[in-house]
Amino acid sequence: MEYFNLHTHQFTNQSDVLELVNQYPKDFDASIPFYSIGIHPWYIDENRLNEDLKIIEEKLQTKNCLAIGECGLDKRIEVSFELQVSIFEKQLELAEKYKKPVVIHCVAAFQEVLAIKKKMKINVPMIIHGFSKNNQLAEQLIAAGFYLSFGKYLLKNPDLKSVFQNVPNDRFFLETDTIEESIKEVYELTSEYKGLKIKELEEIISSNYRSVFEL
């Protein structure tokens, strides 16, 4: 593995990239080699909750399923927040049961995510994907044991540069999510921001990968 893409919705099948492809239970594609699977707060369907959780639990027991997610909390959608919390907590219980990391979608609910981690005493690694907030929140999350993943917003928002530069090298990942740009382009920008050679950056991410995904 030269490159690791922590979170993508597009499987590009490049030999030098390990892609953690986001999958949803109802659209599961068995041809994707490595994936995460979860119930995204946007797509909570109360009519198939039990079925979705059953599929997730079944997949978590396979070696190709590297993580649960993306799952989490989003205060900017119509879905009841109490329902979101309930589904998120059910998925965290599965993550703990099967010792899988969690890829988290979080919008305007970081304090709640922090509180849930503490309340449930979650020990598996938790990664906030698509981080786009300030230094203060980044420091708070890192102090609580979270990893932060950067990609889309880092490419589009120069103000995020200093936040990324302050994140310790052992606590970040890189991703493409839904953007057109490749993971290699994300690596190029972040190596420049961190003042590292691409090879050094690859080694840092590989080390973080081993810490989180080879539990």
Is it the case that residue 199 has pLDDT exceeding 80?
A: yes
pTM for the predicted model, two decimal places: 0.97
pLDDT at 196: 97
CATH superfamily of 3-213: Metal-dependent hydrolases (3.20.20.140)
pLDDT at 1: 80
User: Counting every residue, how long is the chain?
Assistant: 215
105 marked as binding residue: yes
pLDDT at 4: 98
Tell me which residue has tokens 């993943």: 149
Model confidence pLDDT, tens digit, residues 138-191: 999 999 999 999 999 999 999 999 999 999 999 999 999 999 999 999 999 999
pLDDT at 172: 98
pLDDT band at 85 (very low <50, low <70, confident <90, very high): very high
Name the residue ranges covered by the structural domains of the chain. Answer: 3-213
pLDDT at 173: 98
- 103 forms beta bridges with 69, 127
Model confidence pLDDT, tens digit, residues 89-138: 999 999 999 999 999 999 999 999 999 999 999 999 999 999 999 999 99
Query: Under a CB-based contact definition with an 8 Å cutoff, are residues 38 and 10 in contact?
Result: no
177 marked as binding residue: yes
Name the H helices within 121-197. Answer: 135-143, 152-156, 161-166, 183-194
pLDDT band at 66 (very low <50, low <70, confident <90, very high): very high
Tell me which residue has tokens 């119930």: 39
Residue 172 belongs to what H/E stretch? strand 172-174
pLDDT at 19: 98
pLDDT band at 37 (very low <50, low <70, confident <90, very high): very high
